Structure formats: structure tokens, C-alpha cells
Amino acid sequence: MWCSRCRTLIVRSTVFAALCIGFLAAVTTVSAQQPGLIANTDGRKTISLDGQWHTIIDPYESGYYDYRYQPSANGYFKDAKPKSKSDLIEYDFDTSDSLKVPGDWNTQTEQLLLYEGTIWYRKSFDYQRKENTRLFVYFGAANYLADVYLNGEKIGRHEGGFTPFNFEVTNLVRDKSNSLIVKVDNQRRRDAVPTLITDWWNYGGLTRQVKLVETPASFVQDYFIQLQKGSRNQIKGWVRLNGQKLNQRVTVRIPEAGINKSFTANATGYAEIGFNADLTLWSPGNPKLYDVLIEAETDRVLDQIGFRSIEAKGTEILLNGRPIFLRGICIHEEAPFRGGRAYSREDAVTLLGWAKELGANFVRLAHYPHNELMLREADRLGIMVWSEIPVYWTILWENPATLENARNQLTEMITRDKNRAAVIVWSMANETPLGDARLSFLRKLVEQARSLDSSRLVSAAMERHYVDEQTQMIDDPLGEYLDVLGCNEYVGWYDGLPEKADRLEWKMKYQKPLIMTEFGGEAPYGHHGDPLTRWTEEYQENVYLHQVNMLKRISFLRGTCPWILMDFRSPRRPLPGIQDFHNRKGLISDRGEKKKAFYVMQKYYRELETTVPK
């Protein structure tokens, strides 16, 4: 019997249920068959799919579910067209509006500023297929849940708004008018990562570049080429091939250093690599990047890689064996001047340029992996990076799917950026509440991070507590498993008045380096008054003056990261005429205006620059 409303065959509910399960199983197996993440797409042959995409706003997910809230086999992903004058098709991408990709949808039209839900994106493209060539569609990121289809076929699903993913389309692509459709859903969920509440705007959409990546039938899919932990001349890593021809000869060349080392990949296409190299080490003072060629018999990829060692010894952080102080600043991935998600090299150059002006040699990219262009710019500018996954505040610690999701985002973050010399710290979380379930959850992430990359420091931004009126204690049990500890404190803003910092002593349970990963206060640029009047630049300046004096007294402090470089949009900040849905803790306004507190930090960092070696 045909259902009159949705024209789907409903004979016996069990048959229908079996159909759905078969359909979902097909989806998962499709994504299961997909190769892992392709590293360094800029070092390969790519075709950009950026630009205007036709879109359909779908708050009720009518393009995905039928009226029985069952996944429909005839959803918008079919990109269907009426075949006759009496055919009933209730959507049409060609005559629908369009949105720019890359870009969040919230700042492209007033109507979508607060929109949380599904928007369908469609891009049509032609592609000349070639012998012995494979094709992948690569997304820099899509916030939050993306279902991807090509020519009506589901090719995969990705969860997580800040890490890249790719799907193979070699057997699905055709020469003419391919229809690439992405259902992007940024609805917040309690079991998601991040969960329901964040102090940043839930920008939705295809927020980063989308491209086609062409590879030979057997290609260099991924590689890890860095100095072994604590070594300044021992390169250790691996190369992974993908395809039929796997046990190939793999060669790593660093022409400028006269290095040309060959290894043999095993039957799974994995080649362990290791060799001595006398290289100029990457550092903020000399961010040396080498052209590195990774060659196999059937493929070659060029990358720019810096080599440096980073370790923690006692309360010291050692860069290339020498103690350093991380003069940092926190940054959200928000575009200066235009607002919305940052995604371009220009955005990165502006934001990191301001950090440099502040005197920073370190940035904490909060609270999620930022776009690859930001990391590569930090590599070029010599700015060290703290990179974090959005395990933020109170997620569902006991939910296995939440853990799997966090693990996946961690893997994708490390996979994409493990060859960036700038990245020195992987952060597992921000301001998460003490508890056994939380501790075991985060310990699993720490172990995973170490198994994926043993060459960097592992940390998290934690909280402190008072042991008495004057004494702050950092003794979060998670600290046991970390290399360096991050601590967020808002003495003078959420906790007392600015001068309170003068009376405080800091203690820490662990003989490890501390980075003060957040501190500060809020003031809209140009709002003036006396140093004790909230929301004035003078109050914010006052907070920083007392903070700097307090920070100087902490003997195990090895880094500072004020919250935050630039004012950013937040749904939790409604105060009219002051916040207007922006967090105003920036040292710089979202229009690039420097507040008085900026100069307090700049002065402190200039002092440090002269006293602590680069």
C-alpha cells in the first residue's frame, strides 16, 4: 500500500524498520570504509569548491525525515527535479537562496543570526575523471553535524564543528553536473562536545574551505616527521600510504639540509622513519621552516616543517633545551572587524599580528581547534600554540558516545596539526568540574594524545580553590597526568576587586610548570571612569595592573594567557549598551581598538622579553 502523503511503501512496520536499519547500516559502513584524514591538502592537487552554495533552511528537517519522523529515502539530498508537469517536488536548490562558503551562516543574513538547526547546502560541479586517479571531498570544518551526499548517495557523516574530514568519491563522481549536498545541523545537544552551554556563539555552517583532493591510486595519505621528544637531532616518525600498492619505497628529502632517507613501507602501507639530522631549530626568534618532500614510488607531497624540541622538566618548560616563558594571549576564532567565524589567512595574519604587537610568543587557541591557516601562520611567525578540543565545562562524562566523540575530535586535531612546530601543547579540556567520571574520561584522552604524539606537552585549563583567605591552591587530581598545568582565575572580576590579587599566595600540589591560562576583566572600548567602576577601561586596566604584580610572585609560573585578545560574540552576554551579546574581555575591541589594559600587558611582556631568554 502506498502512503498518500509521503509516497513511501508501508506494508508491514517490521519490513519498514528493517529498511531503516539497512539504510543506517549502509551509512555507517560507508563512513567506516572511508580512508582516514588526508594530511596537508595544500601540498596536493586540489579543486576549490568555495564560493556561493545554494541553501535550504530546514528548521523541521523536512528534507531528512518524513512526517513519521523516519529518515526519508527521498530527502533533499536527492536534489530532485520534477520530471513532468504534474510531478510533486517541494524544494528546488536552483531557485533557493545561497550562502557563502567558507563562512558561518549567522553573520551572513540578519534572519540567521540566532538560527540553530539544519541548513542544506548544495554545490554543483563538473569534474574530468582520470585514469589511476582517486578523488576525495575535503571539508576544513562544518559546525556541528554534517551529512554528506554526492549525486543522491550518502557518502558519510561527521560530528564535531572544528576539525576536518574527507570522504572518497572516486566511484560516485561523474563528468557533468555533480550534486554535492551537505545537511549541516548546529543544534546543541546535551551529549555533544561541546554541550549545551558555551560562552561563544554557536556559529553554524560550512565554516572552512571545501575542496576536491585528487590523488594517485596509491598515495601518501599521512605522515609524522618531527624531532623525537627531548632530542635536537633525532628525527622520528612515520609515513602512511593508502591504496593497492602499499609496500613501497618511501623517501624523505630535506634538500636544504642535504637529507635524503629511504625506508620501506610494510604490507599495510606503514613506514617507520628515523634518522639523524643537523637542522636549524625552529623558535620564536628564528621560526625556521624547511621544505620537506615525502615521496613514494606513486606519489609525492611537499610540506613546510619546522623542527624544535619541547619538554617540561620540574617547573621549567624547555624549548630546544632552554627554559622559556610563554608570553601568551587567548584567541577565539572570530574574524576581526567583520565578525563571525574567522577562516582566512588574512584573519590569521591580523589576529597573530596583534598578538605579536602585544609582545606575545604564544597563543592559546580557545576552546577548539582553529583553522589550519592559523596554525601555518603561527609556524611562519614563530608563535607557539596551545591547541584545545571543546571538552568545555560540564559534558556528559559517563556517556560512551560523548567519550567517543571527544576521542575523535582529539584524533582529528592531532592528525591535522602534528607536523606544525608551532604547536607545543595539546589541551584536553577547559574548566571541567572535579569528579571520578570526569577524571577517568580526561585520563583516557590524555593517554590517547600521548599515544598519537609523544613529542608534545599535554595539558588542560583547570580551576583553583581557596585553602584560606589568602591562599590559592591548584591540586586538581588531573594534574598528576599532565606535563604542564593550566589554571583559569578571575581575581578582580568574578572574584573580588582588582586589589585582592595583592594579598594572594599561590600553591600547587605538583612540581610542574604552571600556565595561567585565563585572567582579565571586561570593558567596552571607549567606556571610561574611575578604576573601581565596572565596565570601564580603567577598571579593566586596574585588574591587569594587580594581576601582573600577583603573577610575578608565582615562582612556578611559566606562562600567562590573558582572556582574551579581542571582544567576541557570546549568547551569554546580553547587557545592553555594554556587552550587546559580546564578551568584552578583549584587550582589543572587535573593531581593532586597543584598550588601556592592552598596554599593561604589552609593558609586562616587554620586560619579560628582556629578562627571560627567547
Q: Of 241, 34, 56, nearest to 138 (Cα)?
A: 34
> Is the distance from CB of 412 to CB of 34 less than 8 angstroms?
no
Could you give the CA distance from residue 50 to residue 562 in angstroms, rounded to a whole number? 35
Sequence-ordered list of residues with C-beta below 8 angstroms from that of 32, at least 6 positions apart, any chain: none
Percent of the chain that is helix, strand, coil (3-state, to 5)? 20, 30, 45
How do strand 471-474 and strand 514-518 relate by DSSP bridges? unpaired
What is the CB neighbour count within 10 angstroms for residue 7? 11
Minimum CB–partner distance for residue 406 and ligand GCU (Å): 17
* Closer residue to ligand GCU in complex, CB, 51/433: 433
* Closer residue to ligand GCU in complex, CB, 248/409: 409
Binding mask 417-456 for ligand GCU (x = CB under 6 A): -------------xx-------------------------
* Closer residue to ligand GCU in complex, CB, 224/392: 392
Is there binding between residue 585 and ligand GCU (CB under 6 A)? Answer: yes
* Closer residue to ligand GCU in complex, CB, 165/368: 368
Minimum CB–partner distance for residue 361 and ligand GCU (Å): 22
Q: Of 147, 151, 157, nearest to 172 (Cα)?
A: 151
Could you give the CA distance from residue 432 to residue 579 in angstroms, rounded to a whole number? 25
Minimum CB–partner distance for residue 198 and ligand GCU (Å): 7
Minimum CB–partner distance for residue 286 and ligand GCU (Å): 33
SS (H, E, C) 178-238: EEEEEEEECCCCCCCCCCCCCCCCCCCECCCCEEEEEEECCEEEEEEEEECCCCCCEEEEE
Minimum CB–partner distance for residue 255 and ligand GCU (Å): 44
DSSP H or E segment with residue 558: strand 557-560
User: Which residue's CB comes closest to ligand GCU?
Assistant: 199
Number of chain residues interacting with ligand GCU (CB under 6 A): 9
Sequence-ordered list of residues with C-beta below 8 angstroms from that of 441, at least 6 positions apart, any chain: 397, 403, 406
Could you give the CA distance from residue 444 to residue 448 in angstroms, rounded to a whole number? 6
Minimum CB–partner distance for residue 577 and ligand GCU (Å): 18
* Closer residue to ligand GCU in complex, CB, 134/585: 585
Q: Which one of 472, 540, 542, 583 is in contact with ligand GCU (CB under 6 A)? A: 583
Report residue 221 CA to chain centroid gap: 20
Is there binding between residue 518 and ligand GCU (CB under 6 A)? Answer: yes
* Closer residue to ligand GCU in complex, CB, 297/495: 495
In sequence order, what DSSP letters do the residues of 511-522 get, joined into one string? SS-EEEEE----
| Amino acid letter, 128 | Q
* Closer residue to ligand GCU in complex, CB, 419/488: 488
Could you give the CA distance from residue 557 to residue 554 in angstroms, rounded to a whole number? 5
Query: Of 480-509, which residues contact ligand GCU (CB under 6 A)?
Result: 488
Minimum CB–partner distance for residue 518 and ligand GCU (Å): 5
DSSP H or E segment with residue 540: helix 537-552
* Closer residue to ligand GCU in complex, CB, 106/488: 488
Contacts 24+ apart (CB under 8 A), 29-36: 30/154, 30/155, 30/156, 31/156, 31/157, 31/167, 34/155, 34/156, 34/166, 34/167, 34/168, 35/136, 35/166, 35/168, 35/221, 35/242, 36/221, 36/222, 36/240, 36/242, 36/415
* Closer residue to ligand GCU in complex, CB, 102/161: 161
Minimum CB–partner distance for residue 279 and ligand GCU (Å): 37
Minimum CB–partner distance for residue 564 and ligand GCU (Å): 7
* Closer residue to ligand GCU in complex, CB, 250/516: 516
> Is the distance from CB of 97 to CB of 55 less than 8 angstroms?
yes
Query: Of 182-201, which residues contact ligand GCU (CB under 6 A)?
Result: 199
* Closer residue to ligand GCU in complex, CB, 168/431: 431
Minimum CB–partner distance for residue 328 and ligand GCU (Å): 14
Binding mask 551-580 for ligand GCU (x = CB under 6 A): ------------x-----------------
Binding mask 347-386 for ligand GCU (x = CB under 6 A): --------------------x-------------------
Could you give the CA distance from residue 266 to residue 246 in angstroms, rounded to a whole number? 7
How do strand 471-474 and strand 465-468 relate by DSSP bridges? antiparallel
Minimum CB–partner distance for residue 238 and ligand GCU (Å): 35
Minimum CB–partner distance for residue 75 and ligand GCU (Å): 36
Is there binding between residue 203 and ligand GCU (CB under 6 A)? Answer: no
Q: Of 478, 476, 473, 408, nearest to 441 (Cα)?
A: 478
* Closer residue to ligand GCU in complex, CB, 154/585: 585
* Closer residue to ligand GCU in complex, CB, 23/466: 466
DSSP H or E segment with residue 416: helix 400-417
Could you give the CA distance from residue 136 to residue 122 in angstroms, rounded to a whole number? 17
What is the CB neighbour count within 10 angstroms for residue 337? 11
Minimum CB–partner distance for residue 199 and ligand GCU (Å): 4
Residues making contact with ligand GCU (CB under 6 A): 199, 367, 430-431, 488, 518, 563, 583, 585
